[in-house]
Amino acid sequence: MEHRTAVDPHPQANKHAAKKLRNIHHLSPFWNAIAHLGIGLFSLACVYPFLFVVVLSFTDETALAKNGYSIIPEKWSVDAYTYLFKTGDQLLRSYGVTLFITVVGTLLTLIIVSLYAYAISRSYFHFRGFFSFVAFFTMLFGGGLVPSYIVVTQVLHLKDTMWALILPMCVSAFSILIMRTFFKTMVPDAIIESGKIDGAGEFRVFLYLVLPISLPGLATIGLFAALGYWNDWFNALLYIDDARLLPLQSLLMKVETNIQFILQNAGLAGAGDRTDMVRTLPAETTRMAMVVLATVPIIFAYPFFQRYFVQGLTIGAVKE
């Protein structure tokens, strides 16, 4: 093994070092290469299936039927996409729905959770214990599916509205817990005192003093909430009958479960019934194209947002 100087991450710190030893905290080049190779293979294994889906979506349907799946199809075609763009206002609509519930839901979650958590983090709030209990009780005991369903549909009458996709998920006890701890530990009492002395009321203190220094906490909660709304399909399964309000993940989920179901139950229904069932499904390449159209924009958007994610999640670590 030869001694080579590794790339130094802090060039300005070592500007005056004439001759530099290899940083002992770095991996040796050999192990570094091994690690890179391992990670590279792993990434490839993650990307490959999706690449496969992309290729399939551009495959000719009859070629697919004849030869089965292959990474280099015999015949390319954009039929699936032309078909989708002709009939696929559903996909666009679902995109809109998902974006809407993600944005509105995340904002609503942030407002409610931060207000709730701030209140129960203040030691002079009289009903602190009671409201803490109300929130944390739900973490241990849930009513179950049917009671929740009854509340949403028959008490709140939210069936077939956007709110059925937002309200059931908009307060999480876990987020309140995180936020409460954050307010307790990261917001010094002195700041609140200073606001009080200058004559600010509770709301002004909260809005102008507490929130600006709580951004890392809010980012974390917001991220979890946004991911939750984006990926949620189960609420739509329960509460949405109207295709105009169907979120994206639900749309994809439906296609998947339908195919599973029909394959499993093909033997139960009669001969004509099965052809009947299959007729109502989109073709294979169309399904793949749907997956591509549903995921690609997010894949391209992700790198731009990633740094915020990382920042938001490093809450609690020491930062300067």
Binding interface with other proteins (CB under 8 A): 64-68, 83, 86-87, 111, 145-146, 149-150, 153-154, 157-163, 200-201, 203-204, 207, 237-238, 241, 243-244, 254, 256-263, 265-273, 275-281
Nearer to other proteins, 11 or 267 (CB): 267
Q: Shortest distance, CB of residue 266 to other proteins, whole angstroms? A: 7
Nearer to other proteins, 122 or 312 (CB): 122
What does the alpha-carbon distance between residue 142 and residue 137 come to, in Å, rounded to a whole number?
9
Q: Which residues make Cβ contacts (< 8 Å) with residue 118, sequence separation at least 6?
A: 179, 183, 206, 210
What does the alpha-carbon distance between residue 290 and residue 53 come to, in Å, rounded to a whole number?
10
Nearer to other proteins, 90 or 295 (CB): 90
Nearer to other proteins, 178 or 239 (CB): 239
What does the alpha-carbon distance between residue 146 and residue 282 come to, in Å, rounded to a whole number?
32
Nearer to other proteins, 11 or 68 (CB): 68
What does the alpha-carbon distance between residue 299 and residue 304 come to, in Å, rounded to a whole number?
10
Q: Shortest distance, CB of residue 237 to other proteins, whole angstroms? A: 6
Q: Shortest distance, CB of residue 181 to other proteins, whole angstroms? A: 25
Q: How buried is residue 165: exposed, middle or buried, by Cβ count under 10 Å (0-12/13-18/19+)?
A: buried
Hey, how many other C-beta atoms are within 10 angstroms of the C-beta on 305? 12
CB 135 within 8 A of CB 176: yes
Q: Shortest distance, CB of residue 288 to other proteins, whole angstroms? A: 15
Q: Shortest distance, CB of residue 129 to other proteins, whole angstroms? A: 25
Q: Shortest distance, CB of residue 272 to other proteins, whole angstroms? A: 5
Three-state DSSP at 59 gives: strand
Nearer to other proteins, 246 or 315 (CB): 246
CB 118 within 8 A of CB 178: no
Cα-based distances in Å from 169 to 113, 148, 173 = 12, 12, 10
